[in-house]
Amino acid sequence: MQNLTAHLNMIRAMKMKPNFSELARIYGMDKRTVKKYYEGYEGKPKSRNKPSKLDKYYDEIKLKLSIKGVTVKGVYEYLKSKDETIGTYSNFNKYVKKKGLKPEKKIKGHPRIETDPGEQAQVDWKENIKLVSRNGEELIINVLDFKLGYSRYCFSEINRTKTQEELIKTLIKIFKDIGVPKEILFDNAAAVVDIIGEKIKVNSIFKNFAKDFGFKVKLCKTRYSYTKGKVEAVNKFIDWILPYQGEFETEEDRKRVFTTLAIQKVNRQLSKFLQVS
């Protein structure tokens, strides 16, 4: 195309009448295209500044992504609940990166831990989640995650505290629904273990509870939390709640948001990945 442009510039400089048919034959194109270039056409722009349907949400996306601990996925799910036409998560993520709204994080890989069906479950708490209502009222909650090691199916329960009594009560509720796995992996939570100096052992009350229900307590290795990575990965989904800061008014609103995002969407995403019905 540069050769054609140079040729046309030479014809103009010499004030000659162009033979569009002959030029079209030389450059292998339609004579009408040659005429367009002669009349000033410069070709299609290398990049189109096409507006995005997300542009109207730019300020809101920027505000939500400024919330500490929030994820791009969480903001996407929040906006999608308001507007189903915003498109796919992939396009949303590209938009966020293009606009420089979220710095990229370096993720360190860890070995993948697999277990057989019924062998293991993993338990973790997402602690001290602060939710602020539209009226400015603060609510602090803890979320207990119980995840089956093989199917990745997850049960989540809101707890106001992390006491041993509340943990046992929640586990019994879960056992009634799905049965008891052979072993359950915990971190060194005060509700599970006693720590005396550098010595860590399972609390006697919790040990007897495990014995009564027929499961083995397995502790996550200190400084190797990735051995419990299945449930900690689920905790990332709970961060989807954060974009709803200031978006609810009542306790029922908060329960509805949690149930939809932290439970239903978690298991839908995992089931889709693992083809678990």
What secondary structure does DSSP assign to the chain, as a single string? -HHHHHHHHHHHHTTPPP-HHHHHHHHTS-HHHHHHHHTT---S-SS--PPPTTGGGHHHHHHHHTSTT--HHHHHHHHHHH-GGG--HHHHHHHHHHTT-S--------PPP---TTTEEEEEEEEEEEEE-TTS-EEEEEEEEEEETTT--EEEEEES---HHHHHHHHHHHHHHH---SEEEE-S-TTTEEEETTEEEE-HHHHHHHHHHT-EEEEPPTT-GGGGHHHHHHHHHHGGGGGGTT---SHHHHHHHHIIIIIIIHHHHHHHHHT--
pLDDT at 91: 92
197-226: per-residue pLDDT in tens? 878 889 999 999 999 999 999 887 654 444
Q: Alpha-carbon Rg of the chain, whole angstroms?
A: 30
Beta-bridged to residue 140, according to DSSP, are: 130
C-alpha–C-alpha distance, residues 248 and 258, integer Å: 11
Nearest one of 160, 101, 173, 145 to 238, comparing CA atoms:
145
C-alpha–C-alpha distance, residues 34 and 254, integer Å: 65
Query: Which amino acid belongs to residue 165?
Result: E
Average pLDDT over residues 108-117: 55
User: How many Cβ atoms sit within 10 Å of the Cβ of residue 102?
Assistant: 17
271: confidence class by pLDDT, cuts 50, 70, 90: very low
Report the alpha-carbon angle 264-172-121, nearest 5. Answer: 60
114: confidence class by pLDDT, cuts 50, 70, 90: low
261: confidence class by pLDDT, cuts 50, 70, 90: low
Structure tokens at 116: 């057989």
Query: Which amino acid belongs to residue 273?
Result: F
C-alpha–C-alpha distance, residues 168 and 54, integer Å: 46
pLDDT at 273: 35
Beta-bridged to residue 147, according to DSSP, are: 122, 154
Q: Let me know: does 246 contact 133? Beta carbons within 8 Å.
A: yes
pLDDT value at 102 more than 80 = no
pLDDT at 113: 55
> What is the average pLDDT value for the chain, to the nearest integer?
77
